[in-house]
């Protein structure tokens, strides 16, 4: 064929070639620790639906499928690989906003982690399904298949036969390649749950209510026969009459109300139920309505509160962040409420951050009572469906969110005010896994992103926060008086050396503390005792050969728990029965050393046999219900003395507490940490504030051997100003925050030689670049946890952005270099920016 004929054919083909649509690509974020985002191709039929912030189903690796977030849409194909196509689109509208993406990117950079790790921390589990996710039937599903379509029915029926299904098994059952939309539908209908969520599932709070049983409920005229049947049982007759009177004014009559109104016991109600006259049923109630608080809308403000509100508003004209420094019981919560109401009137959203949501039921109750349906609570103990529902409600403009640190990740549209209550609390710091962020610091960052204002509230500010007020970065508003003019509690510091010398100490209780507890009980008052160690005793030791019970996985002694007669590790959970004799020498002289909350509770029952003792620590508060029950019992005076760890220092406000005891101040003061004095001052001041909050001045008894420690004198005088001056001078002299920035690198490996080599390599490379800024490597106090050996390196940096950013990049580079070394691929490297 001639050349011109070939050209002619080619021209004709090009003229009649249909116009091609350029290939669209998306950069997605996967919930994995990947160094950068991954790119996928968008099939033509999906291009119209694709947009940043929606979830897409993608294949990553050989066989695994994930729900990923679309980060960017572009026409640029990556050079290094051929993108795989998206499998499916999971959302019609974005579930993540542009502001969130910007916030995540900043957080990943600041905390030396990946944006995938931030996504993994931010999204509820129901919004980040993966192919290895296991599905089970929801415990609340009652087997009603009528509202399910054919494919949903097949999955639900399969789960009634099998205990669990993987997503791959679901795919085979319904013969579909993409099943995430089907799974989302079943989650929304509460037919299925994710297996992971059942390990910490949220149980609804219920109360016993009473109603007439059938046929009396439907035909009241038959009640005459019921009264005839119980005519010889006068107490039952009184109980039934009391119920009828109560039911005329109340839709749901609780068991407790009936007992109090009728003056009858629970056995009478049970007998009426056994005879088929009354029926006992469970009613689900909100945990937020369990505390009858006198703060209501329109409650008059004290003069100090009015002044504080005016000063905060004035500070907001020039500053975005204000510290509200108010003594315990000064009425800070009422100030927050006024500012929240003003924000709602402006159409803004409010985030109210609390250090530990399970320990702050009383504050939540106040807010719920005032703001009603405008308020939502968000934290990790809610189940998957509830967390996704709250996520969507915030996206749709929910007014007030009360939550723990994870609530900073919610998709706020119009955030106007952030309140960080108890801003000093270390619970705002995420320890593991990455990102190891501080929610207080991130709240301040969010204020810049959203153009919002921040209030940091506390009676005991962190040193860094107060220093920011000194330098003028933050505004400062102070409330120095307790609400109603009540005096701060009187503090009595007891010298345990002197008590021991005089032999007046009984077990771990000074004569002063026992005397004050006895007098408080005689006056009908309650008491709180604080010991920051749970269990019965921290050590079990043989007096003959010195053997100590130790964990097989961690370099720590096992804690003795008397109630279960076991030795437990509080780091990895390992436990075993208490040996009858010493495993080393065979002698029976095994002694317990030290004391925890369980031992305090046990010995108080011997010393004060008439007192009703309760305990609140991690062992007794494993569910939210358990905590609420203890608080309710204490409020209703079913507990005279409450013994607890630092849980008792947070968010508790009781009317009748006359005495607070700190059993061992020395453990707080001499902890090996540059923040030991700060933490001790905060904890002792906070727990002291539980005494005498509403009726009269309370008393605090602090037991210590080192009574000359300056922190005790400052707690005694409630002298934060002097504490701050002394502490800030020490920080400046020894180059600690806020004058220097800290980054802690922890390396871990199952082989001790590997972690030694890795730590020395890491430190050597860092010292070549950073010199004396690098300290270590050192062996931490607890050098093995969960069978991993640990080594720490600390980097202290001047507050210079160029130096700090360069160091973070260097840390990531050295981490990658180390893991490429022979035998080092299995070493774990945790980078913790702003530790402690």
Give pLDDT tens digits for 405-417. 999 999 999 999 9
**pLDDT tens per residue, range 128-174:** 776 667 788 887 777 777 788 888 888 988 888 877 888 778 888 88
What would the 3-class secondary structure string for 538-598 be? CEEEECCCCCECECCCCCCECEEECCCCEEECCCCCCEEECCCCCCCCCCCCEEEECCCHH
Determine the Cα–Cα distance for residues 175 and 754; give it in Å rounded to an integer: 48
Question: What confidence score (pLDDT) does residue 41 get?
Answer: 95
Question: What confidence score (pLDDT) does residue 127 get?
Answer: 82
Task: State residue 832 phi and psi, 5-degree precision.
Answer: -115, 105
Angstrom distances, CA of residue 470 to CA of 473, 475, 721, 729, 808? 8, 9, 12, 13, 29
pLDDT beyond 70 at 616: yes
Determine the Cα–Cα distance for residues 704 and 663; give it in Å rounded to an integer: 8
Q: Specify which residues 458 forms β-bridges with.
A: 325
Record the tokens describing residue 82, joined without a space: 């051929």
What would the 3-class secondary structure string for 585-633 be? CCCCCEEEECCCHHHHHHHHHHHCCCCCEEEECCCCCCCHHHHHHHHHH
Question: What confidence score (pLDDT) does residue 203 get?
Answer: 43
Determine the Cα–Cα distance for residues 587 and 579; give it in Å rounded to an integer: 11
Report CA torsion sign: 247, 252, 258, 260. Answer: negative
Residues 100, 60 contacting (CB under 8 angstroms): no
Least Cα distance to 265 among 285, 292, 242 occurs for 242
Q: What angle do CA 88, 91, 94 make, to 5 degrees?
A: 130
Determine the Cα–Cα distance for residues 684 and 664; give it in Å rounded to an integer: 11
Inter-axis angle of helices 98-110 and 439-450, nearest 10: 140
Question: What confidence score (pLDDT) does residue 359 get?
Answer: 57
pLDDT beyond 90 at 378: no
Superfamily of domain 740-833: Ribosomal protein S10 (3.30.70.600)
Determine the Cα–Cα distance for residues 91 and 721; give it in Å rounded to an integer: 53
Determine the Cα–Cα distance for residues 404 and 380; give it in Å rounded to an integer: 8
3-state secondary structure of 258: helix
Task: State residue 705 phi and psi, 5-degree precision.
Answer: -90, -40
Confidence of residue 458 (pLDDT cuts 50, 70, 90): very high
Q: Specify which residues 402 forms β-bridges with.
A: 352, 377
Q: Where are the beta strands (DSSP E) in 16-118?
A: 24-29, 38-42, 55-60, 64-74, 88-89
**Fold exhibited by the domain 490-534+609-731:** Rossmann fold (3.40.50)
| Pairing between β-strand 490-495 and β-strand 475-479 as defined by DSSP bridges | unpaired
Residues 571, 786 contacting (CB under 8 angstroms): yes
Record the tokens describing residue 784, joined without a space: 């093995």
Summarize the confidence of residues 260-264 as an average pLDDT.
Answer: 88
- Cis before 700 (ω within 30): no
Summarize the confidence of residues 41-61 as an average pLDDT.
Answer: 91
Of residues 713 and 362, more confidently modeled: 713
Q: Specify which residues 590 forms β-bridges with.
A: 542
What DSSP line would sit under 236-247, residue for residue?
HHHHHHHHHHHH
Question: What confidence score (pLDDT) does residue 13 get?
Answer: 46
Question: What confidence score (pLDDT) does residue 634 get?
Answer: 84
3-state secondary structure of 742: strand
Determine the Cα–Cα distance for residues 24 and 4; give it in Å rounded to an integer: 37
Record the tokens describing residue 311, joined without a space: 């000063």
| Pairing between β-strand 699-704 and β-strand 490-495 as defined by DSSP bridges | parallel
Determine the Cα–Cα distance for residues 59 and 35; give it in Å rounded to an integer: 18
The H-assigned helical ranges of 166-317 are 167-174, 180-188, 195-198, 223-229, 234-247, 255-262, 266-274, 303-316
pLDDT beyond 50 at 7: no
Least Cα distance to 415 among 435, 393, 400 occurs for 400
Record the tokens describing residue 789, joined without a space: 């050996």
**pLDDT tens per residue, range 735-766:** 999 999 999 999 999 999 999 999 999 999 99
- Cis before 777 (ω within 30): yes
Question: What confidence score (pLDDT) does residue 823 get?
Answer: 86
Question: What confidence score (pLDDT) does residue 388 get?
Answer: 81
Q: Specify which residues 207 forms β-bridges with.
A: 283
Record the tokens describing residue 182, joined without a space: 């089907």
Summarize the confidence of residues 724-728 as an average pLDDT.
Answer: 97
pLDDT beyond 80 at 784: yes
**pLDDT tens per residue, range 228-248:** 889 888 899 999 999 988 888
3-state secondary structure of 556: coil
**Comparing 24-125 with 740-833, is the CATH topology the same?**
no
Determine the Cα–Cα distance for residues 374 and 783; give it in Å rounded to an integer: 48
Residues of the chain above pLDDT 70, percent: 90
**pLDDT tens per residue, range 312-361:** 999 999 999 999 999 888 889 889 999 999 999 999 999 999 987 655 56
| Cα-Cα end-to-end distance for the chain | 81
Per the listing, tokens 């909100």 go with 286
Task: State residue 363 phi and psi, 5-degree precision.
Answer: -65, -45
C-beta neighbour count of 800 within 10 angstroms: 11
Question: What confidence score (pLDDT) does residue 445 get?
Answer: 93
Determine the Cα–Cα distance for residues 539 and 541; give it in Å rounded to an integer: 6
Determine the Cα–Cα distance for residues 653 and 657; give it in Å rounded to an integer: 9
Sequence-separated (6 or more) residues with CB below 8 Å from residue 182: 151, 152, 155, 170, 174, 176
3-state secondary structure of 669: helix
**pLDDT tens per residue, range 172-200:** 888 887 787 888 888 888 888 776 433 33
Per the listing, tokens 């469906």 go with 385
3-state secondary structure of 564: coil
Radius of gyration of the chain (CA): 31
Least Cα distance to 437 among 833, 808, 109 occurs for 833
Instruction: Please provide the average confidence, as pLDDT, over all residues in the chain.
Output: 86
Least Cα distance to 424 among 618, 686, 797 occurs for 686
Of residues 57 and 343, more confidently modeled: 343
Q: What's the pTM value of the predicted model, to 2 decimals? A: 0.78
How is the chain split into domains, by residue range? 24-125, 134-198, 205-289, 303-382+402-483, 490-534+609-731, 537-594, 740-833
Q: Does domain 24-125 have CATH number 3.40.1440.60?
A: yes
3-state secondary structure of 105: helix
| Cα pseudo-dihedral 807, 813, 817, 819, rounded to 10 | 100
3-state secondary structure of 293: coil
Determine the Cα–Cα distance for residues 500 and 647; give it in Å rounded to an integer: 29
Record the tokens describing residue 795, joined without a space: 């980097």
| Cα pseudo-dihedral 696, 700, 701, 703, rounded to 10 | 180
pLDDT beyond 90 at 9: no
Question: What confidence score (pLDDT) does residue 294 get?
Answer: 37
Given 3.40.190.10, 3.10.450.100, 3.40.50.300, 3.40.718.10, which CATH number is that of 303-382+402-483? 3.40.50.300
Determine the Cα–Cα distance for residues 281 and 221; give it in Å rounded to an integer: 23
Per the listing, tokens 């946890």 go with 785
| Pairing between β-strand 490-495 and β-strand 38-42 as defined by DSSP bridges | unpaired
The H-assigned helical ranges of 689-747 are 710-717, 720-733
């Amino acid at each position: 064929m001639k050349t011109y004929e070939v050209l002619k054919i080619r021209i004709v083909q090009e003229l009649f070639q249909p116009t091609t649509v350029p290939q669209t690509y998306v950069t997605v974020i996967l919930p994995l620790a990947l160094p950068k985002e991954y790119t996928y191709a968008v099939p033509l039929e999906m291009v119209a639906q694709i947009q940043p912030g929606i979830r897409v189903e993608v294949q990553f690796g050989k066989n695994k499928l994930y729900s990923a977030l679309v980060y960017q849409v572009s026409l640029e194909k990556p050079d290094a690989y051929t993108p795989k196509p998206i499998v499916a689109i999971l959302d019609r509208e974005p579930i993540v906003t542009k502001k969130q993406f910007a916030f995540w990117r900043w957080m990943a950079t600041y905390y030396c982690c990946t944006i995938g790790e931030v996504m993994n921390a931010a999204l509820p589990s129901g919004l980040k399904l993966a192919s290895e996710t296991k599905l089970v039937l929801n415990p609340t599903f009652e087997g009603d298949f009528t509202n399910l379509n054919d494919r949903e029915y097949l999955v639900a029926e399969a789960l009634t036969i099998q205990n669990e299904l993987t997503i791959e098994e679901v795919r085979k059952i319904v013969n579909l390649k993409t099943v995430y939309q089907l799974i989302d539908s079943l989650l929304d209908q509460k037919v299925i749950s994710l297996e992971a969520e059942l390990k910490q599932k949220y149980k609804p709070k219920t109360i016993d209510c009473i109603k007439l049983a059938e046929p009396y409920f439907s035909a009241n005229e038959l009640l005459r026969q019921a009264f005839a049947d119980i005519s010889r049982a006068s107490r039952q007759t009184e109980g039934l009459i009391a119920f009828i009177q109560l039911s005329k004014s109340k839709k749901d009559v609780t068991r407790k109300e009936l007992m109090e109104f009728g003056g009858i016991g629970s056995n009478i109600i049970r007998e009426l139920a056994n005879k088929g006259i009354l029926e006992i049923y469970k009613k689900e109630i909100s945990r937020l309505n369990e505390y009858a608080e006198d703060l209501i809308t329109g409650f008059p403000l004290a003069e100090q509160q009015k002044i504080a509100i005016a000063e905060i508003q004035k500070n907001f004209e020039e500053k975005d962040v204000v510290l509200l420094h108010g003594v315990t019981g000064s009425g800070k919560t009422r100030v927050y409420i006024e500012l929240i109401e003003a924000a709602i009137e402006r159409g803004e959203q409010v985030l109210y951050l609390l250090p530990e949501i399970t320990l702050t039921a009383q504050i939540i109750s106040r807010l719920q009572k005032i703001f009603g349906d405008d308020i939502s609570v968000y934290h990790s103990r809610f189940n998957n469906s509830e967390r996704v529902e709250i996520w969507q409600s915030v996206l749709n403009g929910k007014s007030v969110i009360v939550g723990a640190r994870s609530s900073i990740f919610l998709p706020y549209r119009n955030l106007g005010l952030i309140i960080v209550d108890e801003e000093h609390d270390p619970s705002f710091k995420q320890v593991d896994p990455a990102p190891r962020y501080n929610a207080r610091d991130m709240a301040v960052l969010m204020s810049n992103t959203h153009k919002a204002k921040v209030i940091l509230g506390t009676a005991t500010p962190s040193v860094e926060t107060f220093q920011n007020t000194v330098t003028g970065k933050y505004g400062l508003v102070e409330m120095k008086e307790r609400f109603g003019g009540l005096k701060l509690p009187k503090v009595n510091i007891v010298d345990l050396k002197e008590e021991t010398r005089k032999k007046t100490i009984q077990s771990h209780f000074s004569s002063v503390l026992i005397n004050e507890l006895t007098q408080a009980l005689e006056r009908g008052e309650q008491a709180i005792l604080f010991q920051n160690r749970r269990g019965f005793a921290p050590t079990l030791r043989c007096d003959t050969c010195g053997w100590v019970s130790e964990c097989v996985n961690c370099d720590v002694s096992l804690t003795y728990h008397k109630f279960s007669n076991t030795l437990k590790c509080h780091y990895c959970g390992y436990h075993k029965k208490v040996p009858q004799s010493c495993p080393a020498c065979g002698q029976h002289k095994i002694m317990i050393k030290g004391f925890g909350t369980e031992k305090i509770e046990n010995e108080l029952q011997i010393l004060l046999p008439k007192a009703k003792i309760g305990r609140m620590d991690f062992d007794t508060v494993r569910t939210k219900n358990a905590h609420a029950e203890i608080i309710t019992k204490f409020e209703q005076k079913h507990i005279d003395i409450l013994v607890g760890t630092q849980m008792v220092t947070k968010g508790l406000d009781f009317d009748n507490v006359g005495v607070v005891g700190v059993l061992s101040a020395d453990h707080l003061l001499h902890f090996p940490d540059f923040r030991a004095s700060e933490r001790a001052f905060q904890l002792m001041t906070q727990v002291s504030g539980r005494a005498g909050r509403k009726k009269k001045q309370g008393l605090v008894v602090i037991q210590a051997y080192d009574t000359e420690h300056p922190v005790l004198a400052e707690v005694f005088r409630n002298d934060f100003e002097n504490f701050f001056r002394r502490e800030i001078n020490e920080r400046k002299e020894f180059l600690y925050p806020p004058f220097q920035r800290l980054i802690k690198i922890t390396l871990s490996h199952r082989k001790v030689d590997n972690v030694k080599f890795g730590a020395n390599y890491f430190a050597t490379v860092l010292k070549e670049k950073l010199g004396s800024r690098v300290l270590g490597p050192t062996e931490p106090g607890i050098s093995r946890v969960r069978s991993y050996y640990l080594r720490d390196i600390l980097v202290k940096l001047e507050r210079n952005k160029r130096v700090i950013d360069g160091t973070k990049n260097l840390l990531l580079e050295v981490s990658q270099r180390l893991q490429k070394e022979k035998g080092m691929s299995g070493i774990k490297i945790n980078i913790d920016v702003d530790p402690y």
